[in-house]
Structure 1
Amino acid sequence: MHVGIAYSNHENAGIAARNAVEEALDQSGGADLTILFTTNTYTRQDVLSAVAELVGKVVGCCTAGILTPDGVIREGIGVCTLKGVKAITYLSEVKDPWKSGEKAGEVFRKVKSGTTIIFPDGFIDGIPELLRGFYNSLGPEYVYVGGGSGDNLMSTRTQQFTEKGIIKSGFAAAIIDVTLSAAVGHGWRPLTDPMIVTKTSGKKIYEIEGEKAFEVYSRYVECDKENFAIYGMKYPFGLPCACGSFIIRDPIALGDDGSIELVSEVPQNSVVTIMGCENEEIIKVAEKVVELATSGVKKPRFALVFDCISRMFLLGSKFEEEIKAIKESLPVPFIGPLTFGEIYSTFNVPVFHNKTVVVAVGGD
């Protein structure tokens, strides 16, 4: 396997795309798959048209920023070219999440083992169901990584793409016959005793322990409706999971009825706690995630990094310290998007996370 990683922030979409792809191709000597990220400063079709002139199979999404060893590029294009791999790409809208995932998985079964990379629209409903559909077709013989695409926290213009075209409210995915070594972490810890979510619908929690969700939340976190968004970013919900950690669910809005809207679904009767964090611990966890992912590869060659955008907003100027910690711990080039939810396979089962860093390392 040969790898190329490059990025460009040229103001012209076509030039930026060609510059990044050509530089990556110089490193890899060709491309059986090109992983492509672009910010909202460019027209996606102009980017994809320029890329299509140089390579064949492509998978990618729009993002609010591109993670690189030089920091976060808020306006630019990033690519990773892989040569010497078997790859299949897939692009689809999502009407029935489970069935959409199953259909993609059926196509991907032509590759007997390896890594599935998935970029769903970070704002659609049913991403956990989509991942379960993938798993129902593919099973545990694969690593699953990826992240939700988006432009900013209030975006409705998220787009996903392959060489087949560009869509909204769907997902782009690819499978390669190379098993990447991946790890995940977030840095939040439980602040409250476990509580039962007694009424939910979709992404909204209506009741916790039989009381209105916000009444319970504000009892532990001293906030009101006006500053809820700020406190919700630092004090999300955590769902205990079998691996001994917590899956984070990010609160993003309050309803007039006292409900709390989350980035992703929480099933009714789930056990949750309210989580807290320290900025220093968040940054240390990113470093630990890199070390764990790298330890699974004898000779690391490259890495894909999926880092939640809410970590950047929470850390502010200190987010550059997180990128620096990743760079200093990662002995290889890396690229990745700021994500709206991250995908990682715990016990080889794909799970949709919030507020995490996922690092996937490839090599010999």
Structure 2
Amino acid sequence: MRVGIGYNQKCDSVLAGRLAAEQAVGQSGEPAITFLFTTENYAQELVLQAVKEVIGKSKLVGLCTPGIITRDGVLEKGVGVCTISDSEMQVATCLQENVNLSSWESGEEAGRKLRASGIDSGTVFVFPDGFATNISDLIKGMYNALGPNFTYIGGGTGDNLKFFKTYQFTEQGVSSNALAAALVKGISFQIGIGHGWKPVGQPMVITKASGKKVYEIDGRPAFEVYSECLGGIDKESFPSYGMKYPLGIPAVGGYFLIRDPLKVEEDNSIVFVTEVPQNTVVTLMEGTVENLITTAGEVASIAVSGLASPEIIFLFDCVSRYLLMGKEFEQELKEVMNVVGPEVPMIGMLSFGEVGTFSGIPFFHNKTIIVAVGR
């Protein structure tokens, strides 16, 4: 297996796409699969077409992200390309559109399309529209169609926090409100997942919720309860507190799935980045930048554990961690790089939610870092 990584920050969409792809293909040779990461500053169709002209018959999966993660930091404007060549590799891609219409059924349909390739094991790369509704159901539907013989990794696509429009693409074209997915056999991935947030206070119950909006916690207006948990805060202070104090849903093994609060509505309901189902038990979570950084190193250690010669690293890191850490995000990247070593090709993205297999089942995470190491 040969891996190529290319980045370019030229303003011209065609030029940036072509140069990034040429850099990657120059290292890997003719690829079996191409991963394309862009930021919103470009005409996505033009970037895709330019890359396709370089990669030939390669399958492709890609997305728009708030930032492309490199070994040298985050590119808030740029095009990133990862190409992998291997004559024995099997690849299938799917661009499932209109996923908001019926999330579970859309996930199942995408899973059936991938399964129709005849590939019976491997890794599923999952890149849903990060602003879509019921992404958890979308992933569950895909899992229902594909089953447990696959490792699921990826992240929600996004823009630069305008919350306006995101893009997903395969070699078939560019879409929005879609799921771009790739099934790859021939690379074995080992993943580490973690976030560094710790529970504080007593468990609570989401007693009224719809979609991404939580109306009541323990039978009372959601913001009133949330405010009391923090000693009394006002709505103007909520954005800063919400970033530091998410909610956690208890999962297996003492792990918590994080759910990220986004804004308070006039009726004292709270809108979250991801759905929090009604009747779910939740706990207020807290964390420090130091804990988040330490966790990144621990996650990377889990991902490389027992692997003698890793050949590719994918990093999916929540955009809210990036915003919270500011300049200290560089230290989180250093923690990961110190563990995985300086020689292994790496590419990643700032994500609106992260997709990762936990205890054999794929979940949609928030405020989480996922390191996937392949060989």
TM over 0.5: yes
Q: In 2, distance between residues paired with 1:270 and 1:318?
A: 33
Is contact 1:65-1:338 (8 Å) kept?
yes
Q: 1:347 aligns with which of 355, 359, 362?
A: 359
**Considering only aligned residues, what root-mean-square deviation do their CA atoms show, in Å?**
1.1
Q: How does 1:182-193 map to 2 (within 5 A)?
A: 182-193=191-202
Q: Hey, what's the Cα distance between the residues in 1 that align with 2:277 and 2:163? A: 25
- 1:304 partner amino acid: F
- Select which of 156, 159, 179 maps to 2:164: 156
**Of the candidates 339, 342, 354, which is equivalent to residue 329 of structure 1?**
339
SS at structure 2 position matched to 1:54: helix
Structural mapping, 1:301-316, within 5 Å = 301-316=311-326
For residues 254 and 79 of structure 1, the distance between their equivalents in structure 2, rounded to whole angstroms, comes to: 38
Partner of 2:294: 284
Structure 1 stretch 341-350 or stretch 294-303: which is displaced more? 294-303
Deviation, structure 1 residue 157? 1.7
Q: TM-score, normalised by structure 1?
A: 0.97
Q: 2: distance between equivalents of 1:213 and 1:181?
A: 38
Alpha-carbon distance between aligned partners in 2 of 1:51 and 1:120, rounded to the nearest angstrom: 21
1:250 corresponds to 2:260? yes
Judge conservation of contact 1:200–1:207 (CA < 8 Å) in 2.
Answer: yes
Paired residue secondary structure (1:261): strand
Q: Say whether 1:264 aligns with 2:274.
A: yes
What do the CA deviations read for 1:226-259 (whole angstroms, capped 9, x no partner)? 1211110100000010132100000001111111
2:272 maps to a residue whose letter is L
Q: Which runs of 5+ in 2 are unaligned?
A: none
Match of 2:67 among 33, 49, 65: 65
Secondary structure of the 2:282 match is strand
Q: Does structure 1 conserve the Cα–Cα contact (< 8 Å) formed by 2:40 and 2:160?
A: no
1:296: how far off?
A: 4.8
Measured in 1, the distance between the counterparts of 2:291 and 2:108 equals 38
* Identical positions, percent: 48
Report the Cα distance in structure 1 between the residues aligned to 2:300 and 2:82, rounded to whole angstroms.
Answer: 18
Of 80, 99, 106, the match for 1:100: 106
Q: Cα offset for 1:297?
A: 2.7
The residue type paired with residue 77 of structure 1 is V
CA distance in 2, matches of 1:286, 1:356: 9
Q: Which runs of 5+ in 1 are unaligned?
A: none
Q: Does structure 1 conserve the Cα–Cα contact (< 8 Å) formed by 2:38 and 2:80?
A: yes
Asked if structure 1 preserves the Cα contact closer than 8 Å seen for 2:7 and 2:79, the reply is: yes
| 1:132 corresponds to | 140
Q: Which residue of 1 aligns with 2:93?
A: 89
Assess if the C-alpha contact under 8 Å between 1:113 and 1:179 holds in 2.
no
- Given that 2:3 and 2:345 are in contact with CA atoms closer than 8 Å, whether structure 1 keeps it comes out as no
Compute the displacement of 1:47 (Å).
0.3
What is the aligned length?
363
Structure 1 SS opposite 2:252: coil
Amino acid at match of 2:364: F
Whether the aligned pair in 1 keeps the contact of 2:194 and 2:368 (CA below 8 Å) is yes
Distance across 1 between alignment mates of 2:302 and 2:317: 16
SS at match of 1:314: helix
1:208 and 1:8 map into 2 onto residues whose CA distance is 47
Structure 1 runs (4+) greater than 4 angstroms displaced: none
Pick aligned residue for 1:121 from 124, 129, 140: 129
SS of the counterpart of 2:290?
helix
Return the alpha-carbon distance in structure 1 between the equivalents of residues 218 and 189 of structure 2: 41
> Which residue of the partner structure matches residue 18 of structure 2?
18
* Cα distance in structure 1, aligned partners of 2:222 and 2:372: 36
